[in-house]
Chains A and B, each alone.
Chain A
Amino acid sequence: DAGVIQSPRHEVTEMGQEVTLRCKPISGHDYLFWYRQTMMRGLELLIYFNNNVPIDDSGMPEDRFSAKMPNASFSTLKIQPSEPRDSAVYFCASSLAGGPKTGELFFGEGSRLTVL
């Protein structure tokens, strides 16, 4: 079974440009999470979805960030306009409620974003 798939693996862009990060969760998982990781702030939860519905977006830094999950197999995290302080590794993770693997997060390989 394929794991969580994220794209792109690396993105370098200039300040002010729009950035779109993509995620395909594991088939059948009903939760999807977006995390951001930096040296200074560690691992931060940005937003998570349950059955494609955003449940908690309190971690989204500001209005420049938006996330969507149009269907069970796809989610996007968009930053518009991007700023240098958005440089980080962005992880997508999915999980399944209930059963023996309750709560276990399956992470993608991350998207490293550099904003110049």
Chain B
Amino acid sequence: AQTVTQSQPEMSVQEAETVTLSCTYDTSENNYYLFWYKQPPSRQMILVIRQEAYKQQNATENRFSVNFQKAAKSFSLKISDSQLGDTAMYFCAFLSVNAGNMLTFGGGTRLMVKP
């Protein structure tokens, strides 16, 4: 079974600064997907970024980028130029192509962006 670990329950960052959220996972699979989801106080979960394991290039979406280290099974999220609207819970998630469409989520990191 796959596991996803987010070792930082809470983090804070000053507005306009950069913050990195950590995620590690454990799997014996070689073909999989990784995701970061954001859950703001309004509580609806939305996708931030996704990474296919077969792609070596790190995914980026505007101010959000990942550092995908396949050998180390690490998938960190970097938020640049943090904004107050980035305050949310962030969940890392893993999907094996052999597991249907069932995601395994980490425990989440609560990020507070301070003005």
- For B108, give the chain A residue with the smallest CB separation: A42
Does the CB pair B103–A105 fall under 8 Å?
yes
Candidates A50, A105, A110; contact of B100 at CB < 8 Å: A50
Q: Verify B44–A95 contact, CB threshold 8 A.
A: no
Complex: chain A residue closest to B52, CB-CB: A102
Question: Measured between C-beta atoms, what is the minimum distance from B30 to chain A in Å?
Answer: 16
Q: Does B47 contact A (CB under 8 A)?
A: yes
**For A86, what are the chain B residues with a Cβ–Cβ distance below 8 Å?**
none
Chain B residues within 8 Å of A103, by CB: 33, 35, 50, 95, 101, 103
Q: In the complex, A89→B44 CA distance in Å?
A: 11
Residue of B nearest to A95 (CB): B101
Interface residues of chain A: helix, strand, loop or mixed (majority) = strand
- Asked, given contacts A42-B107, A42-B108, A43-B91, whether A104 binds B47 with beta carbons under 8 Å apart, the answer is yes
Q: How large is the interface on B (under 10, 10 to 19, 20 to 34, 35 or more residues)?
A: 20 to 34
> B43 and A89: CB pair below 8 A?
yes
* Complex Cα spacing A109 to B44, Å: 5
Cα separation A10 to B101 with both chains bound (whole Å): 28
The chain A residue with its CB closest to the CB of B50 is A104
Min CB distance A80 to B, Å, is 25
**Which A79-100 residues have a C-beta within 8 angstroms of B?**
89, 91, 93, 95-97
- The 6 A-B pairs with the shortest beta carbon distances in the complex, nearest first, are A103-B95, A107-B45, A31-B101, A109-B44, A95-B101, A103-B33
Q: A48-B102, A104-B50, A105-B37 are in contact. List 13 more A-B contacts (CB 8 A).
A: A33-B102, A42-B107, A43-B91, A56-B102, A93-B45, A97-B101, A102-B101, A103-B35, A105-B101, A105-B103, A108-B44, A109-B43, A109-B44
